[in-house]
């Protein structure tokens, strides 16, 4: 199998070249990097100090309870890269190497571990425990997958240079049945997916805009009492991805994002003052989408 993967890699990379170029141009790293231009030197240093404080003794990043967590560690890596914080990498590498040896990772934690390992050590260094995909994340039954789970898969395929499965995603995406009432993050993920593979996005873009609350924020669902930073960050990222004009929304969105900033980090909503590295990622994602 490894021989076939090596032989076929250039073929599928060529077949998906256009889609890969679209994704690279709008990669998370690119958009997050743009956010730094929106920060003054004092805020930048405050954010760096905050992120350092979120890295635990084991090398990974902390969840809201202060416990080291793979999911939060992935956000921590993206944020650290955007802020140029190379000093966090040695400890983070130690953590991901140790966690990856267990061979017991499933679901989102498997995806996080694979992306972390590929970014920190390179695709060729992936250990057997991460190369073997869990049965729950198998290649069958594409039609039953949600847009958001496909988006997570797309990220994993992209960072591991799995060009065959990227090609398979392109071919099978058209078979996915639209979800009747998709929340904002799922709509945004679907918009990125469809644009990446050349599917018309006009209707989805209109659906995504319908989550806008006219106060600079997007809500997770239309009847939510307030907007939140996760929905706002991914919505703005998706609209930037399809080159939607954000100039009209920019002033209010900047004000909303700024209202959720506190001492180096970002919180989820105005009713939730607790900050963490996940929402700091979404804050920077929103700023990066608005940077131009």
| 3-state secondary structure (DSSP) of residue 82 | helix
Position 177 scores a pLDDT of 60
Q: Residues 6 or more apart from 147 whose CB is under 8 A from it? A: 176, 179, 182, 186, 187, 189, 190, 193
Within 10 angstroms of residue 95's Cβ, the number of other Cβ atoms is 22
pLDDT in tens, 173-194: 666 665 567 899 989 988 988 8
Q: Residues 6 or more apart from 45 whose CB is under 8 A from it? A: none
Look over the chain and give the mean of its residue pLDDT values, rounded to a whole number: 86
Position 31 scores a pLDDT of 95
Q: What DSSP designation does 88 have? A: G
Q: What are phi and psi of 273, to 5 degrees?
A: -75, -5
Domain ranges within the chain, ordered by starting residue: 2-169+179-289
CATH class of 2-169+179-289: mainly alpha
Within 10 angstroms of residue 75's Cβ, the number of other Cβ atoms is 22
Give me 17's structure tokens: 């070249």
**Gap between the Cα atoms of 19 and 43, Å rounded:** 36
pLDDT in tens, 227-264: 999 999 999 999 999 999 999 999 999 999 999 999 99
């Amino acid at each position: 199998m490894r021989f076939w993967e090596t032989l076929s890699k250039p073929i599928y990379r060529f077949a998906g070249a256009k889609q890969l170029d679209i994704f690279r141009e709008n990669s998370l790293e690119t958009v997050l990097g743009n956010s730094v231009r929106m920060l003054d030197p004092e805020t930048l240093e405050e954010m760096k100090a905050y992120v350092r404080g979120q890295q635990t003794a084991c090398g990974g990043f902390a969840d809201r309870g202060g416990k080291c967590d793979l999911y939060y560690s992935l956000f921590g890596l993206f944020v650290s890269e955007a802020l140029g914080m190379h000093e966090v990498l040695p400890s983070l590498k130690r953590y991901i190497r140790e966690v990856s040896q267990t061979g017991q990772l499933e679901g989102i934690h498997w995806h996080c571990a694979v992306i972390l390992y590929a970014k920190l050590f390179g695709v060729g260094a992936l250990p057997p425990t991460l190369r073997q995909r869990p049965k729950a994340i198998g290649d069958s039954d594409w039609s039953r997958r949600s847009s958001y789970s496909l988006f997570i898969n797309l990220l994993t395929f992209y960072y591991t240079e799995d060009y065959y499965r990227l090609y398979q995603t392109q071919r099978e995406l058209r078979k996915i049945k639209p979800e009747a009432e998709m929340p904002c993050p799922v709509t945004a993920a679907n918009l990125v997916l469809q644009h990446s593979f050349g599917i018309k996005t006009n209707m989805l873009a209109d659906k995504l805009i319908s989550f806008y609350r006219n106060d600079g924020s997007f809500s997770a669902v239309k009847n939510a009492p307030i907007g939140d930073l996760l929905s706002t960050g991914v919505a703005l990222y998706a609209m930037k991805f399809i080159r939607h004009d954000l100039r009209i929304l920019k002033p209010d969105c900047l004000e909303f994002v700024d209202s959720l900033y506190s001492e180096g980090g970002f919180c989820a909503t105005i009713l939730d003052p607790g900050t963490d590295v996940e929402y700091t990622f979404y804050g920077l994602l929103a700023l990066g989408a608005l940077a131009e």
